[in-house]
Structure 1
Amino acid sequence: MVALLLVLLLALVLFGAGFALKALWWVAVVVLVVWIFGFVFASAGESGARKRWFRW
Protein backbone atom coordinates (compact mmCIF):
# COMPACT_ATOMS: atom_id res chain seq x y z
CA MET A 1 0.00 0.00 0.00
CA VAL A 2 2.79 2.45 0.90
CA ALA A 3 4.70 1.55 -2.26
CA LEU A 4 1.62 2.26 -4.37
CA LEU A 5 1.18 5.67 -2.73
CA LEU A 6 4.87 6.46 -3.30
CA VAL A 7 4.60 5.52 -6.99
CA LEU A 8 1.47 7.64 -7.41
CA LEU A 9 3.15 10.56 -5.63
CA LEU A 10 6.21 10.23 -7.87
CA ALA A 11 4.02 10.16 -10.97
CA LEU A 12 2.19 13.28 -9.79
CA VAL A 13 5.46 15.13 -9.11
CA LEU A 14 6.93 14.16 -12.49
CA PHE A 15 3.72 15.18 -14.28
CA GLY A 16 3.78 18.55 -12.49
CA ALA A 17 7.44 19.10 -13.36
CA GLY A 18 6.82 18.24 -17.00
CA PHE A 19 3.88 20.64 -17.20
CA ALA A 20 5.90 23.41 -15.53
CA LEU A 21 8.83 22.92 -17.91
CA LYS A 22 6.52 23.03 -20.92
CA ALA A 23 4.91 26.23 -19.61
CA LEU A 24 8.35 27.76 -19.06
CA TRP A 25 9.31 26.97 -22.67
CA TRP A 26 6.23 28.85 -23.89
CA VAL A 27 7.11 31.82 -21.65
CA ALA A 28 10.67 31.78 -23.04
CA VAL A 29 9.35 31.79 -26.63
CA VAL A 30 7.05 34.75 -25.93
CA VAL A 31 9.88 36.72 -24.28
CA LEU A 32 12.17 35.97 -27.24
CA VAL A 33 9.56 37.19 -29.73
CA VAL A 34 9.00 40.41 -27.74
CA TRP A 35 12.75 40.99 -27.55
CA ILE A 36 13.19 40.48 -31.30
CA PHE A 37 10.32 42.86 -32.11
CA GLY A 38 11.75 45.48 -29.74
CA PHE A 39 15.19 45.14 -31.28
CA VAL A 40 13.87 45.41 -34.86
CA PHE A 41 11.57 48.37 -34.19
CA ALA A 42 14.21 50.27 -32.19
CA SER A 43 16.82 49.71 -34.90
CA ALA A 44 14.43 50.78 -37.67
CA GLY A 45 13.48 54.04 -35.95
CA GLU A 46 16.91 55.30 -34.96
CA SER A 47 18.64 58.16 -36.69
CA GLY A 48 22.15 59.32 -35.94
CA ALA A 49 23.48 58.07 -32.61
CA ARG A 50 22.88 54.49 -31.63
CA LYS A 51 20.14 54.24 -29.03
CA ARG A 52 19.23 51.40 -26.72
CA TRP A 53 15.64 50.24 -26.29
CA PHE A 54 16.43 48.32 -23.13
CA ARG A 55 17.68 49.42 -19.72
CA TRP A 56 20.22 47.22 -17.90
Structure 2
Amino acid sequence: MGTVFELRASGDYRVLHRFTGGADGLEPYAGVTLYQGSVYGVTTAGGDPYCYCGVVFSIKP
Protein backbone atom coordinates (compact mmCIF):
# COMPACT_ATOMS: atom_id res chain seq x y z
CA MET A 1 0.00 0.00 0.00
CA GLY A 2 2.83 2.42 0.79
CA THR A 3 4.76 3.99 3.64
CA VAL A 4 6.34 7.35 4.39
CA PHE A 5 9.26 7.05 6.78
CA GLU A 6 12.03 9.17 8.29
CA LEU A 7 15.58 7.82 7.95
CA ARG A 8 18.04 9.00 10.59
CA ALA A 9 21.82 9.39 10.17
CA SER A 10 22.30 6.46 12.58
CA GLY A 11 20.48 4.17 10.13
CA ASP A 12 17.38 3.92 12.30
CA TYR A 13 14.03 4.80 10.79
CA ARG A 14 10.61 5.85 12.02
CA VAL A 15 7.37 5.22 10.14
CA LEU A 16 5.45 8.49 9.72
CA HIS A 17 2.43 7.06 7.88
CA ARG A 18 1.20 3.77 6.39
CA PHE A 19 -1.27 4.24 3.55
CA THR A 20 -4.38 2.05 3.80
CA GLY A 21 -5.69 2.46 0.25
CA GLY A 22 -8.81 4.24 1.44
CA ALA A 23 -9.36 7.97 1.93
CA ASP A 24 -5.66 8.48 2.76
CA GLY A 25 -4.50 7.15 -0.61
CA LEU A 26 -2.55 4.22 -2.00
CA GLU A 27 0.96 3.90 -3.46
CA PRO A 28 2.85 7.16 -2.86
CA TYR A 29 4.29 8.27 -6.20
CA ALA A 30 7.54 10.04 -7.14
CA GLY A 31 9.38 12.24 -4.67
CA VAL A 32 8.11 14.19 -1.73
CA THR A 33 8.65 17.83 -0.85
CA LEU A 34 9.63 19.15 2.58
CA TYR A 35 8.23 22.63 3.19
CA GLN A 36 8.07 24.48 6.51
CA GLY A 37 8.38 21.26 8.51
CA SER A 38 5.75 19.23 6.62
CA VAL A 39 6.20 16.50 4.01
CA TYR A 40 3.98 16.82 0.89
CA GLY A 41 3.39 14.26 -1.83
CA VAL A 42 0.84 12.46 -4.01
CA THR A 43 -0.50 8.92 -4.38
CA THR A 44 -1.46 7.09 -7.56
CA ALA A 45 -4.75 5.73 -6.22
CA GLY A 46 -7.15 5.82 -3.29
CA GLY A 47 -9.01 8.86 -2.08
CA ASP A 48 -12.47 9.36 -3.57
CA PRO A 49 -14.26 5.96 -3.66
CA TYR A 50 -15.88 6.75 -7.03
CA CYS A 51 -12.84 7.74 -9.10
CA TYR A 52 -10.07 6.22 -6.92
CA CYS A 53 -7.78 8.81 -8.50
CA GLY A 54 -5.27 9.48 -5.70
CA VAL A 55 -4.69 12.18 -3.12
CA VAL A 56 -2.32 14.99 -2.24
CA PHE A 57 -1.04 14.39 1.29
CA SER A 58 0.69 16.37 4.00
CA ILE A 59 2.44 14.82 7.00
CA LYS A 60 3.96 16.78 9.87
CA PRO A 61 6.73 14.61 11.43
TM class by smaller structure: under 0.3
**Structure exhibiting the larger radius of gyration computed from Cα positions:** 1
Q: Which has the higher strand share?
A: 2
Q: What TM-score do you get using the length of structure 2 for normalisation? A: 0.26
Q: What TM-score do you get using the length of structure 1 for normalisation? A: 0.27
Point out which structure has higher relative CO (alpha carbons under 8 A, 6+ apart): 2
Q: Which has the higher helix share?
A: 1
